[in-house]
Each structure stands twice: as C-alpha cells, then as structure tokens.
Amino acid sequence: MRVLVVEDERKTASFIRKALEAEGFAADVCANGNDALAAARATPFDAIVLDIMLPGRDGLSVLKQLRERRNPTPVLLLSARGEVNERIDGLNAGADDYLPKPFVIAELVARVRALGRRGSDAKSPVLRVADLTLDTVTRRASRGGHVIELTAREYRLLEFLMLSAGRICGRMAILEKVWDYDFDPGSNLVDVNIKRLREKIDHDFEPKLLHTVRGLGYVMKEPS
C-alpha cells in the first residue's frame, strides 16, 4: 500500500512517514499543495494523508482539485483541534475521513489502513453476478456477451443492486441511493423501473437474477 503524506511541518511529516513504514506501507512526503497535486497525478496512491494547514494552496484546495480531476484516492484530512468548519468543508469537498491534531499515531495508521482497504475494493471496476457484468468505469452492462443499453437511472439502479448482490434492497433504500429521495413519493417509481430493468437484463436470459422479495424489496442473486 502506497500512501502520500502532505504536511509542511517536517517533524510531523517524518513521524507519520516512519510510523506508516514501520507498518509496511510505502510513504511519500510532500510539503506543499502543488507538489502534492503533481505527485498524485504521477503516482497512483492507495490513500492520502492531507494536512489542512499548508503554505500557499491549503489542504482543502488540494482536495477540491483532486476531486475535480476525478482522482478517487481516499483522503484522510488532518487539522488542528476545533476547526469544525474546516472539517465540514473537508467532508463536503470529498474527504473520506478526518483526524484532529494532536492525534495518536496508532489511530492515524489504523484509519489509513481502513481507507486503503476501502480504496482497493472500489478499484475493482467490473461488477459481476453470474454472466451479467457491469463496468463501473465505462458504464457498460452486458449479459452472456450481449451489450445491454441502459439509461442513466437504470445504470444507477443496476449498480446499486449489483453492489448489494445477495442482500435485499428495500424500496426506501433504492429511492435514497438511486433517486436521492429521503422520502417515499408514494408512487410505483421503483417498481416501474425494476420492471424495465428486468426486461433488459433477465427477459431473454436464464437464470433470472433480479428477484422480488414480497413485502421487502428486491435482491440480485444467482439462484442457489
């Protein structure tokens, strides 16, 4: 696992680097935001430890730039204790976790390890259930080698169902994840879209993969 540490205070940076290396990580250090952006562009890191207080371009600006460039590397933000606004801004700007200073080094290492795991899960871009595949980078679905055309909404629906394969997805959870609703519009929106999706992914194929669990919701799975 390769970690980028962005911190201008030399002692803190080297303390973090040594702790990560002692745990078997490879760690690179940058002392300012522009170097960090260049490093993140040149090297695929598994996680970035990013201090907010940096000379010149600060950590939040680095984070926003990374996300604008669609760099998905998980980011752990570091900040002085009590900087609540920065913390909220950071999470809004796409930080994955936050640790106030001063921190216990073991906690930092544990959080970086957790982020790296999350990142490597996310790196597998093709979801698969039986012979149905969904490439989350190109957004192409296919079954048995046949390409399936999806609308943007159908893509989100299928992605959610496949990420949850084997688990029942309730209507409310689907409304939240696929439509960003936090309320039930009281319509058959979900059912209609499930029906359309089913026609595309299941109608001409065997075995059927998208199942209704009466009263609970839907589940994507291979029949056992």
Q: Which stretch binds Ca ion (CB under 5 A): 45-53, 112-120, 124-132, 145-153?
A: 45-53
For residues 61 and 133, which CB has a smaller minimum distance to Ca ion in the complex? 61
Residue 9 or 83 having the CB closest to Ca ion: 9
Q: Which of residues 4-23 bind Ca ion (CB under 5 A)?
A: 8-9
Tell me the window of 16-24, 53-61, 135-143, 168-176 that interacts with Ca ion (CB under 5 A).
Answer: 53-61
Q: Which of 28, 35, 46, 51 binds Ca ion (CB under 5 A)?
A: 51
Question: What beta strand segments (E) does the chain contain?
Answer: 2-6, 26-30, 47-51, 75-80, 97-101, 126-129, 132-135, 140-143, 146-148, 210-213, 217-220
**Nearest CB to Ca ion, comparing residues 28 and 51:** 51
Span interacting with Ca ion, options 2-10, 20-28, 97-105, 176-184, rule CB under 5 A? 2-10
Cβ-proximal residues to 199 (8 Å cutoff; 6+ apart), any chain: none
Q: Which is nearer to Ca ion, 53 or 130 (CB)?
A: 53
Q: How far apart are CA 223 and CA 199, in angstroms?
A: 18
C-alpha pair distances (Å), 168 with each of 26, 86, 155, 158, 214: 39, 37, 18, 13, 11
What's CA 94's distance to the chain center, in Å? 10
According to the binding rule CB under 5 A, does residue 58 interact with Ca ion? no
> Would you tell me which residues interact with Ca ion (CB under 5 A)?
8-9, 51, 53
